[in-house]
Structure 1
Amino acid sequence: MESIVITGAGTGLGKELALQYAQNGYSIILTARRIQPLIEVKQEIESLGGEAFAYPLDIRCYEEVYRTVNSIIQDHHVTCLVNNAGIGYFGPFSSLTHEQINEMIQTNVNGTIYMTKAFLPYFQTLPKAKVINIISTAGLRGKINESVYVATKFAIRGFSESLVKELEQTNISVTAVYMGGMDTPFWQGTDHIKDRSRLRSAQEVAKQIIALENGQPEIILS
């Protein structure tokens, strides 16, 4: 059975992508820093007749990424990596702390790059493989009170577009996904979004991504 690795799979869009892909017959490799949400998603997938495995992982740590990825590929036939994990702190640029800036860069940028680099040699041995980077519309245009978050998403946009060109003659496809805001736990603890009721559900967005994704360089969901 083909396996899909999803980062940030314990909540929000990562969880919904895991549930949807599992219903489509894939074995799901769930990763995130906290193990308990992963166990809950794993149990939900299994209750629906699917297969899932949970791997606690801090994608900010280069050595931990490589150890975990090596363990995963020894036991699973992974053909797709979904770089979904991300974190955001919002407000005027002057209000952001050094720790908040570092955490966004380390998670959104470094984590995505580390995961992709760790899987790439393995993917190159397969007939076909793909990397899907969840970026959001923050990677398309600047936004008020999102300066550093947007900067990290622009970075992954550049990373994705460059990999598309670098790997275009290979067996590996790279897709960047740009979607608007969703009503997920991502927004808990912030008043940046005043009316969350106008946001789409993560389940709806996950269904759209899976329906549209076919190895193309980008998907834009308004």
Structure 2
Amino acid sequence: MKTILITGAGTGLGKELALAYAKRGDRIILVGRTKESLNDVKDLIKRTKGSSLVASCDISDGQAVKKLIERLVSIEKIDMLINNAGIGYFGNLQDLSIEEISQMIDTNIKGTIFMTKEVLPIFLEHQSGKIMNIISTAGLRGKVRETAYVASKFAVRGFTESLIKELEHTSIKVSAVYMGGMNTPFWEGSDFIKDPSRLKSVKQVAKEIVEREDEEQMIIS
């Protein structure tokens, strides 16, 4: 059994990854901003006799992340970090607000880097651990009406590829997951995707990620 910390674990892919790994027998640390949704996932895991812990945190706040990991390390041995939390706003660049752009940069890039920075010393101390960054195919190629979102994902891709090189002589494993659009609450409040139900099932994507966990680069179209 591994202890896996998943960010953005209250909804969408994070939720399904939490359920899938818990079903496999792993202990899950559910991290996100909204405690209510995290507790809902915790209850679902409990119903299947799984084990989990809720820890609310704004991962775009570096000091909050530092305090979170310090607290968790005192009670848990984290074996794997899944940087899943992400936010997206879509449209022509000139129509995006400064706040929307900042939120994408802060959550998608800074959140991933802050979480990794605080967990990595623990992995290095134990000479074991895995970091999985959920990036999306927006980190592979440019897309119309996704300029700032794609920029944030390209940044996470560069961060991940550099981290792989930085840790290549250690026992720490780093992987990147690039998946297309899924039928998740991610699209709520947006008219960018007219019919999310036609997209790939998030449960199916989560299942494939768990099955292919050992791959350094995973592309799920």
Q: TM-score, normalising length from structure 1? A: 0.98
Counterpart amino acid of residue 164 in structure 1: I
Q: Distance in 1 between matches of 2:25 and 2:124?
A: 23
Residue by residue, what CA displacement relative to the aligned partner does 1:159-218 show, whole Å, maximum 9, x if unpaired? 00000111011011110000010000000001101232320111000000010111x321
4+ long deviations beyond 3 Å: none
Q: Structure 2 matches for 1:159-198, cutoff 5 A?
A: 159-198=159-198
- 2:218 is the counterpart of 1:219: yes
Shift of 1:137: 0.2
Aligned-residue RMSD, C-alpha:
0.8
Aligned to 2:134: 134
Q: How many residues align?
A: 221
Q: Distance in 2 between matches of 1:77 and 1:32?
A: 19
Q: Which runs of 5+ in 1 are unaligned?
A: none
Q: Structure 2 matches for 1:134-153, cutoff 5 A?
A: 134-153=134-153
Bigger shift: residues 151-160 or 66-75: 66-75
Q: Distance in 2 between matches of 1:195 and 1:184?
A: 11
Aligned identity (percent) is 52
Q: Is the 8 A contact 2:87 2:104 kept in 1?
A: yes
Q: Is the 8 A contact 1:126 1:171 kept in 2?
A: no
Aligned to 1:37: 37
Residue by residue, what CA displacement relative to the aligned partner does 1:86-141 show, whole Å, maximum 9, x if unpaired? 00000110000010010000000000000000001001122421000000000000
Q: Distance in 2 between matches of 1:123 and 1:109?
A: 21
- 2:70 is the counterpart of 1:70: yes
Q: Distance in 1 between matches of 2:202 and 2:17?
A: 8
Q: Structure 2 matches for 1:48-87, cutoff 5 A?
A: 48-87=48-87
Q: Distance in 1 between matches of 2:13 and 2:111?
A: 17
